[in-house]
Amino acid sequence: MTKSPSTDRSDLETVRVWDPLLRIFHWSLTLCVVAAWGLGQFGPDVMTLHFYFGYAVLGLLAFRVIWGFVGPEHARFANFAYGPFSILKYVFGMFRRKPSYWRGHNPLGGFFVFVLLAVLAVQAGSGLFVDPEDYINVGPLAKYVGSDSRLAALSLHDVMGWVVLGLVALHVAAIGFYNKWKGENLVTPMVTGRKTVRKDG
């Protein structure tokens, strides 16, 4: 029989970790990415709403970059920019069946944030240059590049859309893993801002 997560909470405390703007960013980005992807795959032929949600994603990413330097402690990139050794060390120990009670992003989660932000920037950015040659759904910057670049942007945009879907699925799977295997709820803290962590940080 597998052991359940430890219930000894004497060395734990519940503190505010995620600031309101970061939480608004997180859920707004979730909404915009899901909406943009869904409209891109199943939406109407005229992709106006798809473009609007794409612009919103770019705006949110710009905010996150700024907030990563001037925001509160746990929102700053420096707080979760771990090196390869720290990431590997965390990975080798992450399958222990107990909560990690990590303050902020753990090393693997921090690495995932950088990957996701980069992929979304490429995905949304490439959409600015696409030209599917339907004379309707043309990116606003397509006229500034050559036809080969427009076609390359269209191909990249399509491929990266599936990469984004894969990352979203991985993120959801990780949330489920932490909840069911490690007994750690990652969703509620991103709603309330408060997270249970070790007192020694």
- Report the Cα 29 to chain-centroid distance in Å: 8
90 assigned to some structural domain: yes
H or E stretch at 135: none
Instruction: Please state which of the ranges 2-11, 91-100, 167-176 shows the lowest mean pLDDT.
Output: 2-11
| Residue with tokens 């052991």, as numbered in its chain | 3
Stretch 30-41: mean pLDDT: 95
- The number of residues in the chain equals 201
Q: Which two tokens stand for residue 116?
A: 């996701």
pLDDT of residue 2: 42
Q: Which residues contact 97 (CB under 8 A, 6 or more apart)?
A: 2, 3, 4, 5, 181, 182, 183
Determine the angle formed by the axes of helices 147-180 and 107-127, rounding to 10 degrees: 150
Q: Which two tokens stand for residue 183?
A: 């007994």
CATH code, domain with 115: 1.20.950.20
* Percent of the chain predicted with pLDDT > 90: 82
128 assigned to some structural domain: yes
54 assigned to some structural domain: yes
How many C-beta neighbours within 10 Å does residue 184 have?
19
- CA distances, 183 to each of 2, 85, 92, 105, 175 (Å): 13, 25, 18, 17, 10
Cα 1 to Cα 152: distance, rounded to the nearest angstrom: 54
What is the domain extent for residue 62? Answer: 15-193
200 assigned to some structural domain: no
Q: Decide if pLDDT at 4 tops 60.
A: no
Cα 91 to Cα 78: distance, rounded to the nearest angstrom: 20
Q: What DSSP line would sit under 73-134, residue for residue?
A: GGGSGGGS---HHHHHHHHHHTTSSS----SSS-HHHHHHHHHHHHHHHHHHHHHTT---SS
177 assigned to some structural domain: yes
Number of structural domains in the chain: 1
Q: Decide if pLDDT at 3 tops 70.
A: no
